[in-house]
Amino acid sequence: MKRIGLLGGMSWESSVEYERIINQEVRSRLGGVHSADLIVRSYDFAEIEKLQERGAWDEAGDLLAADAASLEAAGAEVILLCTNTMHTVAASIEAAITVPFLHLADATAEAVLAAGVSKVALLGTRYTMEQDFYRSRLERHGLLVLVPEEPDRTMIHDVIFSELVRGVITEDSRDRYLAAIDRLLDRGAEGVIAGCTEIELLVSSGDLECPYFPTTRLHALAAVDFAL
């Protein structure tokens, strides 16, 4: 089994999900009391959020790149970044390591295509929905990507930062997310990407009648595939 390095704690609610899914999947595949070989770098998310708000992406990239290199030095044989938004600095991380970096958008795109979906809705933080770094990666795989219109983008972003990263889950926010998803389906989306790991805490596949792509699970399973 290869050792997996996780850049997590953005927020810790999402990286705990990564650890849970990876460990459960390893036990399911290998049986007995097997669990994953993990190294985790967890952050004070308040510090990461400040960098995001200031648009200090180069500084954030330097931080994550240095920590990815530290994970490799500690024996990690593959690196995962446990957040969609911070994949905006993926290139900095990849340049700092010699082991594989499993890009979350690649794992997601493969699952979308395998489901026969070509036009997909993307939910996430404002950075993920409005910047090009994530959509363009999906589009390289031949996907057509739709993002919510305003005011849905603001609502989705605000719920993530004011509720989900704090562990707050409400029926009202779930209803508002589902309404925003319905508007995307009306625009022709054939499936929905939960492009923020915390969204999976609020919306599940059972809430929808279309294909749903929870990026945390897809990314975590890709890591297990690699490790085993």
Active centre residues (catalytic): 83, 196
Strand order in the sheet with 4-8: 38-42, 4-8, 78-81
Nearest alpha carbon to residue 202 among 106, 124, 115? 124
* Structural contact between residues 42 and 82, judged by C-beta atoms closer than 8 angstroms: no
Nearest alpha carbon to residue 38 among 86, 6, 70? 6
Angle between the N-to-C axes of helices 132-139 and 104-114, in degrees from 0 to 180, rounded to the nearest 10: 40
- Cα angle 13, 184, 215; round to 5: 30
Collapsing DSSP states into helix, strand and coil, what is residue 211?
Answer: coil
| Kind plus residue range of the DSSP H or E element containing 53 | helix 45-54
Nearest alpha carbon to residue 63 among 116, 127, 10? 10
**Nearest-angstrom CA–CA distance, 5 and 107:** 17
**Nearest-angstrom CA–CA distance, 192 and 203:** 11
C-alpha torsion 174→176→178→179, nearest 10? 160
